[in-house]
A and B are shown apart, each in its own frame.
Chain A
Amino acid sequence: MNLEYGPEYEDFRTEVIDFCKEYEGISFENTSSKNISRSEWQKILIEKGFIARAIPKEYGGFGGETDIIKSRIIATEFSKAKIPGGMGGQGIDMLVPTLLEWGTEEQKQEYIQPTLHGEMIWCQGYSEPNAGSDLASLQTKGELKDGNWVINGQKIWTSTAQYSQMMFCLVRTEPQAPKHSGISFILIPMDTPGIEIRPLVDMTLNAGFNEVFFTDVTVPEGNIVGKRGDGWSVANSVLGHERGSLADPNATMNRLNTLINMMKEETIDGRRLIDIPSYRDRLMQVQGKVMANQAHSLRLLSSKINPGQNVKLGGMIQKLVGTELRHEMEALAIDVLGEIGTLYEETPRLKENGSFQFHYMYFLGLIIGGGTNQIQKNIISERGLGMPKEPKVQEAS
């Protein structure tokens, strides 16, 4: 056991801390005196090598080596200093790594730099009304006609569709092939005629998602990433990336501290919530889980820099455990606030801007999304514990 990163990394930490001091109080709000645009901020972070570190310079990245310890130091210090990190989203987190692995030189040149700079926003067109957990049964159809893909069908759960310039989309192009090998990965400009976006309001009352309809949407043949029928493999090369990012341990720790502070401030009959034994015991239970997960994330980090350290199962549980824990933590905040905990939207007596209710519901969404937690349990039991798959049933007519 050695939790030291070493002097080289401690120097780097000092550099990050100095950077955080320099930009202390920075804000994307127009009203702030330290206003900066997201795109400008993005460029500064890339230039320092704080984000897009391993992405080659010619595509707009920093052009360095992947350094997972540096990434961790950056995340930790930014989180402590409350400095905004780099932009996330489907484009940066999912499309860029996909293009680096599967894209043509032309596609890399065209899409990666504007995506990294936050000038090109992407949405993901995977799920369909009849293709949820069974994603590979998707039916949105793409036909090659006169050197163009002509696309018809419908996608759902498409977050940020209304702000996006582009969509990366799974389309069935080989209807005769078995379901997993009949899919292609196609890039679609969102201003193409024939695309209709309808907002889908979720239980938080935000239109966090959309439905997207395609009627004879026509894009050039060259917008395919990988070969025809390779779409399932192309998409799966980054799904793993998304699952790991759904419940960030730094964010979980910050939320726990928010909860603890709230329980020290709020009272019942003049008594602090944290002084009420049953509430305090639940808090301590949640803290135990958070500590276990913090330690586990260190073990996972260690396994990435020490080849031979086997934590195969450990990597599979993150989405399941992380999302359930966040949901439980927000539920505790609501319970200790009692009636006050039910306040939401614009109202007197609202606490923490309604964020406990919001996250309570939002994390229920994440328990379902990104591969439901039941699907996660199938993955853990089948791939992690070597248990057999459910036998295939004859298709019901």
Chain B
Amino acid sequence: MYFGLSEEQNQFQDYVKKFLSDNVTVDEIRKIANGDDQKLHEDIKSGLMNLGLSSLLIPENYGGLGGDLLSAVSIAQGLGTGVGPISFAGSYVMAPIALSLGGNDDQKDKYLPKIASNEIKFGVGLSEYVASREDSGIELNKGKASGKALFVIDGDDADFFILSDKGGTMFIVDRNEKGLEIIQLTTVDKTRLYLELNLKNVKAEVLQETENNPFVIQKVIDAGRIILSADSLGASETMIEKAVSYAKERKQFNRVIGSFQAVKHMCAEMAADLEPCYAMLWQAAHSFDHDPDEARLQACQAKSHIAEVAKMVSKKATEVHGGMGFTDLLGLHYWFKRIGLNRQILGGPELVREEAAELQGFNQ
């Protein structure tokens, strides 16, 4: 019996953490967030992609590493620690799972090897299936899609999009297809981009196995929720580290502020609440990989609980930094905002808790 990340998974995570801490300082994140240095952003993206992120979840017979979700979680935690400014949850977790489970053989042959080799990239837009806001929602009719998708994940520089209709039938749309309008949304978190897609009778390639079979879209959403939670967990870990080390250096009243119990106790509260989140997250990923009966409930509860803890951490860690925590100079807000974004995507805490209750038959 061993409960935790394997040695290999820990190593993979450490590579990601090390790459980010060596190459992506707060100054660099700021440049990327402000769109000031495209080349820098491209260099960082390719540096991270060279670690093999795109092939991780692609099955071996399609040229990938055949990794499981727990391996993806270990990467996502690492990306969260350094607010890694690249696509992951949508392009390299949700899309490969959607294609592997939902595609027919032709579709798998056509797309999976090219994702693995980083020749093509997918964005994923399933927000309408989780909770349709405003005028969003897509209708599929004889191979043509019309409607709007909001908060498409990892859509920037994507060649294709995976979207779904209200019934959970998933389909692929080519970025260059006629009738597709791409609108960039600006969220608080500028380390990753989100899109709105406006579709008017756009040619849609349906993922065959998802027709009248919401099992696939549910799995894809579960995976996305777990990966977003892992990202928030990593971001929270860094926020606590930053708060603790700041509190050990900053002096007031002739003492380091970390010797005041008011400050120490805030740090202890953050650490105490975050610590069980690791195990919760790993268990959810393990269930996704091996225990399908438990997986959805655990994904919902992990998404909700980790979002709540991360929110608390993002607030208290900022407070420990005092006025500096509020500045752009220190850049702590990039972690704060990343946590804020992850919390809402694919269902905020109240929505996923309601889903968890439904799964257990608690609301009639």
A→B interface (CB under 8 Å): 1-6, 69, 260, 272, 274-275, 277, 280-281, 283-285, 287-289, 291-293, 295-296, 298-299, 301-303, 305-306, 309, 313-314, 317, 320-321, 374, 376-378, 380-382, 384-391
Contacts and interface: CB of A to CB of B under 8 A. Distances in A.
A320 B265 CA distance: 12
B3 A287 contact: no
A274 B361 CA distance: 10
B226 interface: no
B304 A285 contact: yes
Given A295-B282, A380-B268, A281 B1 contact: no
Ordered nearest first, which 8 A-B pairs have the shortest CB separation?
A288-B305, A302-B3, A295-B279, A296-B276, A377-B268, A284-B353, A381-B264, A380-B268
A1 B4 contact: yes
A277 B363 CA distance: 8
22 contacts: A1-B5, A1-B6, A272-B364, A275-B363, A280-B357, A281-B350, A281-B357, A283-B362, A284-B353, A284-B362, A287-B301, A288-B353, A291-B301, A292-B280, A296-B279, A301-B3, A374-B261, A377-B268, A380-B272, A381-B258, A381-B264, A388-B256
A295 B362 contact: no
Nearest to B264: A381
B363 A374 contact: no
Contacts of B308: 285, 288
A380 B271 contact: yes
Contacts of A389: 259
B3 A321 contact: no
Nearest to A293: B276
B77 interface: no
Nearest to B301: A288
Interface string B253-292: 0011011110011011101110111111011001000000
Contacts of A291: 280, 283, 298, 301, 305
A309 B265 contact: no
A390 B256 CA distance: 10
- Of the listed residues A5, A291, A314, A389, the one surrounded by the most CB atoms of chain B closer than 10 A to its CB is A291
A313 B277 contact: no
A299 B3 contact: yes
User: Interface on chain A toward B: helix, strand, loop, or mixed SS?
Assistant: helix
Interface residues of B, number: 48
Contacts, number: 164
Given A289-B305, A377-B265, A387 B248 contact: yes
Given A293-B276, A295-B279, A377 B269 contact: yes
Contacts of A380: 268, 271-272
A283 to B, nearest CB: 7
B268 A385 contact: yes
A281 B6 CA distance: 35
A384 B244 CA distance: 11
Interface in B1-56: 1-6
A284 B279 contact: no
A289 B272 CA distance: 12
Interface of B: 1-6, 70, 240, 244, 247-248, 255-256, 258-261, 264-265, 267-269, 271-273, 275-280, 282-283, 286, 298, 301-302, 304-305, 308, 350, 353-354, 356-357, 362-364
A1 B298 CA distance: 16
Contacts of A309: 2, 4
B321 to A, nearest CB: 15
Given A287-B301, A296-B279, A321-B276, A3 B354 contact: no
A362 B354 CA distance: 31
B280 A296 contact: yes
A113 B245 CA distance: 50
Contact of B275 (A287, A317, A388): A317
Nearest to A5: B1
Contacts of A4: 1
A389 B280 CA distance: 31
A306 B298 CA distance: 25
B354 A2 contact: no
Contacts of A386: 244, 248
A104 B273 CA distance: 42
A275 B364 CA distance: 6
Nearest to B248: A387
B276 A292 contact: yes
A389 B302 CA distance: 34
A6 B18 CA distance: 36
Contacts of B276: 292-293, 295-296, 314, 317, 321
Given A274-B362, A288-B353, A387 B6 contact: no
- Of the listed residues B248, B268, B271, B357, the one surrounded by the most CB atoms of chain A closer than 10 A to its CB is B268
A281 B354 contact: yes
A289 B13 CA distance: 26
A280 B350 CA distance: 10
A302 B305 contact: no
Given A387-B264, A391-B255, 4 more contacts: A280-B354, A293-B276, A299-B278, A314-B278
